Amino acid sequence: MKDKIWTPGGISRRSILKAGAAAGLGLVASPAIVSNAFSSSGEVNFMGWSGYDFKKLFDSFTAKTGIKVNFLEQPDQDSMFAQCKLSLQTGAVDFVEPTVDRVASWVANGIPQPWDETKIKLDNYDQAFVTGVAGDTAKVDGKRYFIPSVWGTEALTYSTTDANTEYGKASLADLFDPKFEGKVVVRAHSSLAAMGRVLDSQGKLPKPFLDSYKDEATMKQIWDIVLAEAIKHKSNIAQFWNGENDAQAAFRTNGCVLGLTWDSTGYNLKKDGLAFGFVAPKEGAFAWLQGYFLMKNAKNTEQAYEFANFVSTADGSALNATAFSANPTGKGGIDKMDAKVTEFYHGAYPGDALSKLWWWPIQDAWFVKLRGEYADKWKAA
């Protein structure tokens, strides 16, 4: 589920994570992790994503609190999960940073403990990330196990000359409008989800589209309809993208004027001076949310609270989002970032766009398998 919003160097976070996941499958706790995990009043052991430079974030946090961060890097969420299960015996990790859709499985495996809401500063966050669907997904049995750190989206990249649009007008349905025949780029499974949401909004599905994530029979019933309708509009699709480079190539060299892409695509095209914009559709942008679990056997709990609260501030949130090339969750964080990023953000998510974010639901293994089968049929049609 994890994506990113912008990359100054044009490198997709997805591509980094994909490569890391391939390298990290089957990892087990190494002696280095255990030996580097300290436990004292002035330190905290944090397991997070490899491939990013957190020096400014950690240095700023230490300067403010006196707490040293012992950073334990992992390439992907599966590796984090495996390491944290082992840490239930070793006590090597205090807190860890997966995505919100993993809450149920982590809690079911007895890995995290709930955060004490009297100790976390929920008012520091933009409320879109701690209430509504995002807030509900963060909780199990009324207890909050997840607090947000960064987020990103998949929405509409458009040519300002050949497919110009604006917030409130731009729609997922535009991807299937005959006027854009042969000029649209999409990711296969995401575009089927987009079609599902369009049909849902038009009352053309037997059940709500979100129900398709609940069980196999319902998914097949709904996605058969979705796939059939998408195939009717296949002539619109000039290219299917898999990563940042081919998504950008669709616009730069292959003549596409509209696409459902990561926000990084729109940012990088615009950054390079090309006539493209990026905006959330009126139905709401597809969104992912990353954040923190507090380990059940955390030794440095107060220090973990200090770190989480620091990242919720405008300054801490901006430093963290900059390190990730993602969006900040703390109020005012975006205004502390690079001016070009701030401008892009406000243009992409104006008005009530944040309150309309469509959070990717939990996708079990059976769903991911079937989703791939439908995507293959869509591409082959």
Residue 154 carries which DSSP code?
Answer: E
Q: Which residues lie closer than 8 Å to 331 by C-beta, 6 or more apart?
A: 124, 125, 126, 314
pTM of the model as a whole: 0.79
114 and 98 fall within a common domain = yes
- Confidence tier at 36 by pLDDT (50, 70, 90): very low
82 and 177 fall within a common domain = no
High-pLDDT (> 90) share of the chain, %: 82
375 and 237 fall within a common domain = yes
Judged against a pLDDT cut of 90, whether residue 283 lies above it is answered with yes
Residue 144, classed as helix, strand or coil, is: strand
79 and 63 fall within a common domain = yes
43 and 123 fall within a common domain = yes
Strand partners, 99: 290
251 and 139 fall within a common domain = no
Whether 338 is in a domain gets the answer: yes
Judged against a pLDDT cut of 50, whether residue 1 lies above it is answered with no
Which amino acid is present at 277?
G
Structural domain boundaries, residue 178: 153-285+361-380
**Total domain count, the chain:** 2
Q: In the predicted model, what is the mean pLDDT of the chain?
A: 89
pLDDT tens by residue, 159-184: 999 999 999 999 999 999 999 999 99
CATH code, 243 = 3.40.190.10
Whether 3 is in a domain gets the answer: no
371 and 227 fall within a common domain = yes
Query: Which tokens sit at 263?
Result: 């926000």
166 and 248 fall within a common domain = yes
Whether 323 is in a domain gets the answer: yes
- Confidence tier at 368 by pLDDT (50, 70, 90): confident
Cα 7 to chain centroid, rounded: 14
Whether 65 is in a domain gets the answer: yes
Judged against a pLDDT cut of 90, whether residue 35 lies above it is answered with no
199 and 253 fall within a common domain = yes
- Confidence tier at 41 by pLDDT (50, 70, 90): low
Comparing 29-38, 195-204, 363-372, the range with the smallest average pLDDT is: 29-38
Judged against a pLDDT cut of 80, whether residue 251 lies above it is answered with yes
Judged against a pLDDT cut of 90, whether residue 312 lies above it is answered with yes
Q: How far apart are CA 354 and CA 96, in angstroms?
A: 25
Average pLDDT over residues 60-74: 96
pLDDT for position 30:
43
pLDDT tens by residue, 225-245: 999 999 999 999 999 998 888
70 and 110 fall within a common domain = yes
Q: How far apart are CA 72 and CA 348, in angstroms?
A: 34
The three-point CA angle 31-35-40 to 5° equals 150
128 and 163 fall within a common domain = no
Q: How far apart are CA 124 and CA 106, in angstroms?
A: 25
Question: 68-74 and 258-262: which strand pairing?
Answer: unpaired
User: Is the backbone of residue 25 left (phi > 0), alpha (psi -120 to 50) or beta?
Assistant: beta
Whether 351 is in a domain gets the answer: no
Judged against a pLDDT cut of 50, whether residue 17 lies above it is answered with no
303 and 245 fall within a common domain = no
Judged against a pLDDT cut of 80, whether residue 109 lies above it is answered with yes
pLDDT tens by residue, 69-106: 999 999 888 899 999 999 999 999 999 999 998 998 89
Average pLDDT over residues 130-143: 95
Q: Which residues lie closer than 8 Å to 347 by C-beta, 6 or more apart?
A: 277, 278, 279
Judged against a pLDDT cut of 50, whether residue 51 lies above it is answered with yes
pLDDT for position 81:
93
Average pLDDT over residues 53-75: 95
